[in-house]
């Protein structure tokens, strides 16, 4: 990664790398953010399936809610923009638990946290770094993997992000979901989400939601520009075309060498030794 591009595009806040699309002034002001009891948070480490989840939530609620851009995206005017929304807000964020505005915690707002096998997340993020002009240049997969394992990528360490949220796995207002479960049995996950949200939907509606949320459908909608090309739920780009790549489980096997896999597994075991949720992550 060239030092020059790194310096131009990334800054650190609380030790975590952010792109300059999240201004320091905005990040500083977030803790005073005025959450509302009926806000819904959509939380993820980047490249874990945030857009997929957003697509489902919007259909469960349709059309009574507003899906905002990520809370940490933009400059200081972002706070006012969110405050001016009169409808119920679905607010995406890649912030770790410690950086989440405290008002969301006090008001016990409902939150989804989506988890994806970190090996696939790393691969997805690697391609995103290569395609996204807002992110620093990366020389190779091997270099990227080292940065990822060190937490020297946007939004910091996958492990720290996950662990900060996992501490709250028993909070009744947070629902943890796995990308791989969604791939395996989406209707079951959609049902679980609707029950959590307290919204009644029929089996026929669940079927329709799943059809409209398939990878093929979502990707082709972007290509046909049936969806707003400039509305993403990722603070790292506004270009929806950069989001949908393969949408697969296990693509890591096409990237990791046996040595890299061993290194990853060792780090995973060390960092996740006390984690309950990590046992559910599919390799
Ligand atoms: P890949 O790069 O592996 O294809 P996020 O929305 O958090 O930025 O995550 C993007 C990843 O989720 C991308 O992974 C993208 O293809 C995948 N994704 C988006 N919509 C999906 C869907 N409907 N089904 C499966 N994967 C999806």
From atom 23 of ligand 1, which residue's Cα is the shortest distance away?
A: 215
138, 249, 95, 104: CA torsion to nearest 10: 170
Burial level of 144, CB count in 10 A (0-12/13-18/19+)?
buried
Burial level of 230, CB count in 10 A (0-12/13-18/19+)?
exposed
Pocket test for ligand 1, best of 44, 213, 215 (most atoms within 8 A of CB): 215
- Asked if residue 236 lies in contact with residue 135, where contact means CB atoms within 8 angstroms, the answer is yes
Q: What is the whole-number distance in angstroms between the Cα of residue 212 and the centre of ligand 1?
A: 14
Atom of ligand 1 nearest to the CA of 44: 7
- Asked if residue 107 lies in contact with residue 35, where contact means CB atoms within 8 angstroms, the answer is yes
Q: What is the whole-number distance in angstroms between the Cα of residue 121 and the centre of ligand 1?
A: 9
Pocket test for ligand 1, best of 19, 45, 47, 92 (most atoms within 8 A of CB): 47
Q: Is the CB of 46 under 6 A from ligand 1?
A: yes
Domain boundaries, the chain: 17-280
Interface ipTM above 0.95: yes
- In the residue annotation, 161 being an active-site residue is answered as no
Pocket test for ligand 1, best of 112, 124, 217 (most atoms within 8 A of CB): 124
Catalytic residue (one of 94, 127, 161, 255): 94
Q: What is the pLDDT of residue 21?
A: 87
Q: Is the CB of 232 under 6 A from ligand 1?
A: no
Position of tokens 């405290």? Answer: 102
Atom of ligand 1 nearest to the CA of 52: 20
| Contacts of 204-210 spanning 24+ positions with Cβ under 8 A | 208/59, 209/56, 209/59, 209/60, 210/186
Q: What is the CATH number of domain 17-280?
A: 3.40.50.300
pTM above 0.90, yes or no: yes
Q: What is the whole-number distance in angstroms between the Cα of residue 211 and the centre of ligand 1?
A: 15
pLDDT in tens, the chain (283 residues): 444 445 578 999 999 999 988 999 999 999 899 999 999 999 999 999 999 999 999 999 976 789 998 999 889 998 999 999 999 999 999 999 999 999 999 999 999 999 999 999 999 999 999 988 889 999 999 999 999 999 999 999 999 999 999 999 999 999 999 999 999 999 999 999 999 999 999 999 999 999 999 999 999 988 887 777 667 777 777 788 889 999 999 999 999 999 999 999 999 999 999 999 999 987 6
């Amino acid at each position: 990664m060239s030092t020059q591009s790194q310096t131009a595009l990334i800054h650190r806040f609380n030790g975590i790398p952010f792109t300059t699309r999240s201004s320091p002034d905005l990040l500083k002001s977030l803790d005073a953010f005025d959450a509302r009891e009926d806000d819904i948070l959509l939380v993820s480490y980047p490249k874990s399936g945030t857009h997929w989840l957003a697509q489902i939530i919007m259909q469960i609620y349709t059309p009574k809610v507003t899906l905002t851009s990520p809370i940490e995206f933009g400059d200081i005017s972002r706070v006012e923009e969110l405050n001016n929304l009169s409808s119920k807000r679905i607010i995406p964020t890649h912030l770790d638990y410690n950086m989440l505005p405290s008002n969301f915690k006090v008001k016990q707002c409902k939150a989804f946290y989506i988890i994806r096998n970190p090996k696939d997340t790393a691969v997805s993020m690697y391609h995103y770094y290569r395609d996204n002009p807002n992110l620093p240049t990366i020389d190779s997969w091997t270099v990227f993997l080292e940065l990822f394992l060190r937490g020297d990528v946007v939004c910091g360490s996958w492990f720290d992000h996950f662990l900060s949220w996992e501490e709250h796995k028993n909070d009744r207002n947070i629902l943890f979901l796995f990308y791989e479960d969604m791939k395996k049995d989406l209707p079951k996950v959609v049902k679980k989400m609707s029950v959590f949200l307290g919204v009644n939907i029929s089996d026929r509606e669940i079927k329709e939601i799943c059809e409209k949320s398939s990878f093929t459908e979502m990707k082709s909608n972007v290509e046909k520009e049936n969806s707003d090309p400039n509305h993403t739920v990722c603070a790292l780009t506004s270009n929806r075309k950069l989001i949908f790549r393969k949408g697969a489980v296990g693509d890591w096997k096409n990237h990791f060498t046996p040595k890299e896999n061993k290194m990853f597994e060792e780090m995973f075991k060390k960092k996740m030794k006390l984690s309950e949720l990590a046992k559910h992550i599919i390799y």
